[in-house]
Amino acid sequence: MAKPVGSITRGTTGYNRLRRCDRWVVAVHGQALRAAERPLVVDLGYGASHTTTLELFTRLRGVAPGVEVVGIEIDPARVAAAKPYEREGLSFRLGGFELPISRPPTLVRAFNVLRQYAEPEAWRHWETLCGKLAPGGVLVEGTSSENGRRAVWAGLSPEGPGTITFSARFDAFSRPSDLADRLPKTLIHRNVPGERIHAFLSDFDRAWAVSAPYGAYGVRQRWLASVRELSRSWPVPTRPPLGGPARWRLGELTLPWSAVAP
Ligand SMILES: C[S@@+](CC[C@H](N)C(=O)[O-])C[C@H]1O[C@@H](n2cnc3c(N)ncnc32)[C@H](O)[C@@H]1O
């Protein structure tokens, strides 16, 4: 077997760390997974334990019973540690960005993986992974805090980046721009005046500030009011599956990538 493409990095992970993203994947891509003939999902860089891959598998099986999930790790010791947890429809194997699988995946998730690489490499790996997707497939690439209460992820199609999603538990931030430290590698160094991502996060903070009176009804109401305010000047999708109150009330906001692209 050729050497896997990429490098071993810290394996930090944890129970339910990626639940916010799993929930979004189920809501936004569940139907496509259900409709696909033999839906294959890759969890790339699952870390020191099989946990988040098993959680993804369980959640996806709830909406797409035919889904097959493969966890891919570049560290052989982490593959060996996960193997005992294999079951029908869930397997673990050694590999990297080359994705050692036999058919194109409908969905690839790579969470807390690309942050360890330099920005030009991150763009390149996005392109490589997008080039491996099945038609209509999606790459979900993101970063979260250690406990998963703050996360930002991008949704990419074979054509490139399509969406960016901000997600936070209501007690895990004091203003929306606290999420800046979870931006994808391709954006994190762009959060400076003159860049769209900086303008967006500044406007989100402003919307949060003017929505302070809604805080009397709880942080969720304040978030909902901020998103409504933001959607006056930013192209916030307002209908399911990407937008609308049912998504926003979870402490989530999805935007077209083009709105913040560098
Ligand atoms: C910080 S852990 C993240 C674990 C899990 N995805 C999570 O978010 O909790 C990153 C893992 O990605 C693995 N990794 C890094 N580059 C990789 C690559 N190119 N292919 C496969 N795994 C990779 C590292 O070895 C490490 O175990």
Express each pLDDT in 66-117 by its tens digit: 999 999 999 999 999 999 999 999 999 999 999 999 999 999 999 999 999 9
What residues does each domain of the chain span? 19-259
pLDDT exceeds cutoff 80 at 1: no
| 55 — pLDDT class (breaks 50, 70, 90) | very high
Round the CA-based radius of gyration of the chain to a whole number and report it. Answer: 18
**Pocket of ligand 1 contains residue 74 by CB under 6 Å:** yes
Hey, which residues does 12 pair with through a beta bridge? none
d(CA 87, CA 101): 17
| 2 — pLDDT class (breaks 50, 70, 90) | confident
Residue 78 CA: nearest ligand 1 atom is 27
For the entire predicted model, the pTM comes to: 0.97
Average of per-residue pLDDT values in the chain: 97
Token pair for 147 = 């406990």
Q: Residue 119's pLDDT is what? A: 96
Task: Quickly tell me which residue has 């496509």 as its tokens.
Answer: 32
Q: Average pLDDT, stretch 119-124? A: 97
Token pair for 184 = 């994808």
**Pocket of ligand 1 contains residue 8 by CB under 6 Å:** yes
The gap from C-alpha 133 to its chain's centroid, in whole angstroms, comes to: 16
Question: Which amino acid is it at 126?
Answer: W
**Pocket of ligand 1 contains residue 92 by CB under 6 Å:** no
Residue 7 CA: nearest ligand 1 atom is 16
Q: Could you give the count of Cα atoms lying within 13 Å of 246 in the half-sphere of its Cβ? A: 8
Q: What percent of the chain has pLDDT over 90?
A: 99
Residue to mutate, 74, 94, 111, ligand 1, most ligand atoms under 8 Å from C-beta = 74
Query: Please, are residues 38 and 66 in contact by the beta-carbon 8 Å criterion?
Result: yes
Q: Average pLDDT, stretch 161-180? A: 98
Token pair for 215 = 């805080």
User: What's the pLDDT tens digit per position in 213-261?
Assistant: 999 999 999 999 999 999 999 999 999 999 999 999 999 999 999 999 9
CATH topology of domain 19-259: Rossmann fold (3.40.50)
Closest CA to 209 of 238, 234, 237, 176: 176
- Report the relative pairing of strands 138-144 and 107-111 from DSSP bridges: parallel
Q: Average pLDDT, stretch 151-171? A: 97
| 157 — pLDDT class (breaks 50, 70, 90) | very high
Residue 23's Cβ-count burial label (10 Å; 0-12, 13-18, 19+) is middle
Q: How far is the CA of 211 from the centre of ligand 1 (A)?
A: 38
Q: How far is the CA of 120 from the centre of ligand 1 (A)?
A: 18
Q: Return the HEC string of the chain.
A: CCCCCCCCCCCCCCCCCCHHHHHHHHHHHHHHHHHCCCCEEEEECCCCCCHHHHHHHHHHHHHCCCCEEEEEECCHHHHHHHHHHCECCEEEEECCCCCCCCCCCCEEEEECCHHHCCHHHHHHHHHHHHCCCCCCCEEEEEEECCCCCEEEEEEEECCEEEEEEEEECCCCCCCHHHHHHHCCHHHHCCCCCCCHHHHHHHHHHHHHHHCHHHHHHCHHHHHHHHHHHHCCCCCCCCCCCCCCHHHHCCCEEEEEHHHCCC
Task: Please say whether the dihedral angle defined by the alpha carbons of residues 216, 222, 224 and 225, taken in this order, is positive or negative.
Answer: positive
